[in-house]
Chains A and B, each alone.
Chain A
Amino acid sequence: DVKVTQSSRYLVKRTGEKVFLECVQDMDHENMFWYRQDPGLGLRLIYFSYDVKMKEKGDIPEGYSVSREKKERFSLILESASTNQTSMYLCASSRRTGLAGYNEQFFGPGTRLTVL
């Protein structure tokens, strides 16, 4: 059974704190993604990675950074958390992009982050 796991289901942090969100997949997938999901806005891509040590900005990278030192692990870092980063964060992985475009994504359970 394929699996994407995230380090926490719920997290509460204070403004200005450095926050690490971890994602691990066991499917040997090349692509990994970080999204945030907010009511009325849907899924928005923050960053993605198509290989170890490689990263690409998504639609809303400001205030975030990422790290991919190992194939199975993709970390999202909030350098200095702010209240507008309160959200549901979803990680996903997929096989390497093919001729028909991106392959199906497998999502983790999500981390609901609250920044006070």
Chain B
Amino acid sequence: GQQVMQIPQYQHVQEGEDFTTYCNSSTTLSNIQWYKQRPGGHPVFLIQLVKSGEVKKQKRLTFQFGEAKKNSSLHITATQTTDVGTYFCIQGGGADGLTFGKGTHLIIQP
């Protein structure tokens, strides 16, 4: 079945720096969802992307879905300590069911 590769696994940044995580697939994705999980917490839904080339913004977060619908990215501008956590993607559509990125752990140094 489909696999979604997520990179990097860990990312250390200084507070104020930008951060990007990527989810890549060898096959076309039906949709992609992004979630955030704070340390000790449970995953919380951030956004869903469905259309080719789609770009959505939530304050300092920018989500993109590739033109070929094979990759997606989450970019955070000027990270803050509240951004700490694990960000992961879920692909969920059609006969391929659900596939998951393993997550990117964002560590922020003040």
> Which residues of A does B touch, CB under 8 Å?
40-45, 48, 58, 90, 92, 97, 100-110
Q: Is the CB of B93 within 8 A of A90?
A: no
- A108–B44 CA distance with the chains assembled, in angstroms: 10
A45 — which chain B residues lie within 8 A by C-beta?
97-98, 100
CB-based A-B contact count at 8 angstroms: 56
Check if B103 is an interface residue, CB within 8 A of chain A.
yes
User: Of all chain A residues, which has the CB nearest B102?
Assistant: A42
B102 — which chain A residues lie within 8 A by C-beta?
40-42
Q: Is the CB of B94 within 8 A of A43?
A: no
Given the known interface contacts A42-B102, A44-B100, A101-B93, the answer about A110 and B30 at a Cβ–Cβ threshold of 8 Å is no
Q: Is the CB of B42 within 8 A of A108?
A: yes
- A41–B48 CA distance with the chains assembled, in angstroms: 23
Q: How far is the CB of B58 from chain A (nearest CB, A)?
A: 14
A43 — which chain B residues lie within 8 A by C-beta?
43, 88, 90, 100, 103
- A42–B50 CA distance with the chains assembled, in angstroms: 23
- A90–B102 CA distance with the chains assembled, in angstroms: 15
A-B contacts, 6 of them at CB < 8 A, read A58-B98, A92-B43, A100-B31, A100-B50, A101-B92, A102-B90
Q: How far is the CB of A79 from chain B (nearest CB, A)?
A: 24
Q: Is the CB of B98 within 8 A of A104?
A: no
- A101–B33 CA distance with the chains assembled, in angstroms: 10
Interface centre among A58, A100, A101 (most CB of B within 10 A): A101
A92 — which chain B residues lie within 8 A by C-beta?
43
B31 — which chain A residues lie within 8 A by C-beta?
100-102
